[in-house]
Structure 1
Amino acid sequence: MIAQQVITDLKAKANPEKAKHSQRFFKTGPGEYGEGDRFLGINVPEQRKIAKKYRALPTDEVAILLQHSYHEVRLTAAYLLVYKVEKGDENTLKEVVDCYLDNLSGINNWDLVDSSCHQILGRRLQDKDRRLLYDFAQTDDLWKKRIAMITCYHFIKQKDFDDALAIAEILLNDGHDLIHKAVGWMLREIGNRDLDTEEAFLKKHYQNMPRTMLRYAIEKFDEPLRQKYLKGEI
């Protein structure tokens, strides 16, 4: 079982018209965040199906996929790693995390980040030092910053909010829309579990946070309260 078999299966599902749409959707033009990325045009359910078929693929072969030029090959590799940790033991988790971090350059768009980091890094850091996330949050690398924030989703699900709030504060003044959305999303997830905690953060920061971040954070609020935040009346 080798990486090339996965690539062959994926290429058999290629759709050139969908690939063109994906290149626009994932901002692959000059100067855009996905500049130069290439697509086969394969929908996510097909990629997940292929990932499940090859879940026994050794991690050194998955590493080859994570460095592939086609976006869907890298995304399928990310799904593969997630499926491995869902069924594996602590040794498997460590092996997967090492593979993930060694090939992090292949996790280079928001769907790749969001589909993998909280399941992989979040699970690994559940009972360990989380300094790595703070290091990522303070880099100039867009994807590492998004990984830092979205990895906290794993902790948020356990009602462990401290790191998510601290990293949100670090990223509060970041200039990129994809970070605004990530922070707002995680604040909303905190609020889904503990509205008082989310509101305490918002009351301190909402007047200075980017508008997109605020809108994402308050999306599920009752409309009168949402309008108060938008109008600066809290």
Structure 2
Amino acid sequence: MAEPLTAASVRAALEAEASDEQRVKILGRMTDDATEVIGVRMGTVFDIAKVNERMPLPEVDLLLDSDVYELRMVAVSILDFQARAKGVDRRALYELWMRRLDRIDTWDYIDRSAPRVVGWYLLDKPRDVLFELARSDDRWHRRTAITAAFWIIRAGDLDDPLALCEILADDPEHLVQTNVGVALREIGRVDAARLRAFLDRRGDDLSAHARRTARSALA
């Protein structure tokens, strides 16, 4: 009989793959000094998440409780993998993600899971929550808003993503601006005229990095 998929077994699997070299590398890109790091290369973290992709959501919730970077990365990766499955309960994934928003507090947790877990769920629903997040004082909430919009853009729905870009065009946080640039680039690949109109109106408000990224769609 297969072993149960638990938060404890994930931790054991990660600790078995840890190395001091990887720990130093990962610590170098952490944005919060309080984050603990085991030291497992990202490819291995994703492999462990894939093995555990059918983990029950209460166990995923336990992973999100951890202060360990890799455990929470496994958690958001499992949510992303589950969001890709046919017949999945998207509402349950979305509600867990949003309830634990305080634990999804690095740029890569957000990028790994927000498009499918949040954006996909909201494809056929009102997006008020994204506008609330875009106006938050918390930079990770603002990054979540624009990153979730990637999946909405992918569906060819540009109105709300452009409205979010309007709110975030002059955001002072680099880690928000980077994904505003990505959102605009993807909007431009769907409708170049709307991107040009946005850049004519708000281009000077964007960071140089975001502006370059957006304009790459017009090259």
TM beyond 0.5: yes
SS of residue matched to 1:73: helix
SS of residue matched to 1:37: coil
SS of residue matched to 1:126: helix
Q: Does 1:121 align with 2:118?
A: yes
Match of 2:187 in 1: 190
TM-score (norm. length: structure 1): 0.87
Greater per-residue helix proportion: 2
**Identity within the alignment, %:** 28
Q: Provide the C-alpha distance between the structure 2 equivalents of 1:216 and 1:38, rounded to a whole number of angstroms.
A: 32
Query: Root-mean-square deviation (CA), in Å?
Result: 1.4
Match of 1:136 in 2: 133
Query: Which amino acid in 1 is paired with 2:21?
Result: E
Query: Which amino acid in 1 is paired with 2:194?
Result: T
Contact 1:67–1:105 (CA under 8 A) maintained in structure 2: no
| 1:85–1:209 Cα change, 3 Å | closer
Match of 1:41 in 2: 39
SS of residue matched to 1:36: coil
Q: How many residues align?
A: 215
Match of 2:9 in 1: 5
1:22 corresponds to which of 15, 22, 26 = 26
Q: Provide the C-alpha distance between the structure 2 equivalents of 1:154 and 1:209, rounded to a whole number of angstroms.
A: 22
Query: Which amino acid in 1 is paired with 2:165?
Result: A
1:96-117 deviations in Å (ceiling 9; x for gaps): 1111111111111010000100
SS of residue matched to 2:54: coil
Q: Provide the C-alpha distance between the structure 2 equivalents of 1:16 and 1:213, rounded to a whole number of angstroms.
A: 35
SS of residue matched to 2:47: helix
Contact 2:192–2:218 (CA under 8 A) maintained in structure 1: no
Q: Which runs of 5+ in 2 are unaligned?
A: none
1:155-188 deviations in Å (ceiling 9; x for gaps): 1111111111101110112111111111011101
Q: Which runs of 5+ in 1 are unaligned?
A: 28-33, 223-234
Q: Provide the C-alpha distance between the structure 2 equivalents of 1:184 and 1:23, rounded to a whole number of angstroms.
A: 26
Alignment of 1:143-162 (within 5 A): 143-162=140-159
SS of residue matched to 1:125: helix
